[in-house]
Structure 1
């Protein structure tokens, strides 16, 4: 159950007690209630290794890793449940990865790696917490993921065009294929269109990307280039067709051409992202399990 925002708390105190309180006082009260119910952030980080030990004990085959800096301060976390690891054997080998910001006052990002079963149902493979989207953090996360899913030419990654993530996948999974989310790319493409309806440009680009044959793609892309030359120039200068066009993509990505499945999962945990580490993990695991 969520505690109300400070402005609602101010109104409640005024209505029930006849006392005016400031926004900062209401916020402190709200934070204190959360601490009383879920514990302090300091306790949460101190209990992390014990929490992960018990998680592995009651979930056979679970892999969890924690990385701290030279001052023994938390930096990264990786968790892959044993059931998720076992189930990956019969899943489509397309791994969608994305990150979303935490809102608990300690910054950082929550990362999910998802796959699909043959019925197109989303299947959480692994998740973690990083200090941000940078070269070191993405390399670490993918190195931990590699202990669960080895490098193979059967593996396909579907992500946005985060530079650090692109570099990390190339370094850690050199045999795997890497496709770009066409929705994210379409939002960039339409920004370079001139004197046209930008939403139409984004739709036309996504339409081009989904043709199954090279002949159909070439006709559609030639038309796109003629009608939207500035958008086409951006595409040619910033990426390769093999990253986004279905007909020339070198791997098997099935129906997955966006990272929207992770975005939908992020919305499921929008409240959990406000919690401290252990309560957040509890909320995530309750949904997954």
Structure 2
């Protein structure tokens, strides 16, 4: 699928991996609608890329807000939705039980992580698929593609560390839904793939401090550094353009396999 002149939704597009994806897709001629809660940064991106980026304040877990965002997409760019990049996600590290404090893992916290990362991802993609199916936009290329869904998991889905039970469970769910989604959506010429990033220079990691980041980077076999958001964005481009990529989870991690701590 060619990217130019097509419209994509990027959730979490106001920062981190999502922001890098927004910038990269626009550089390739796409229109992008950002679904995020970061109003200040989202509006700045909209202003920076006037007539190419639309920011919509969207809680991905709220079906009315997501549908409103899709309606605004159609109003702004017409019936040109060809893809979703689900990059919105949260984490809340916590042990199941802390013997020193006697504190048990909050069920509210666990449910919040699962809700944003799993329910939010599914909520956006299901309504986006509905729009792709009803908009009667031209199909793409020799394979007659209708669109693509790109979800974001994590290597924590495979090697979750202590304290990552909720985060790993949520990302494991994203991995597990990839193939059944791809099988179903293939009937409509829509692909579904997932990226499982390793350690990337996102706002979450940047908040840990330089020494911690250096220590984490040394754990990566090669290249011995943290991933850069633009590298994630480049993989998004490859997945969009290569129509044989379907039903796959792609690790992007420098071959790191996380230890328990």
TM-score, normalising length: structure 2? 0.27
Kindly indicate which of the two structures has a greater share of residues assigned to helix: 1
Greater RCO between the two (CA within 8 Å, min separation 6)?
2
TM-score, normalising length: structure 1? 0.25
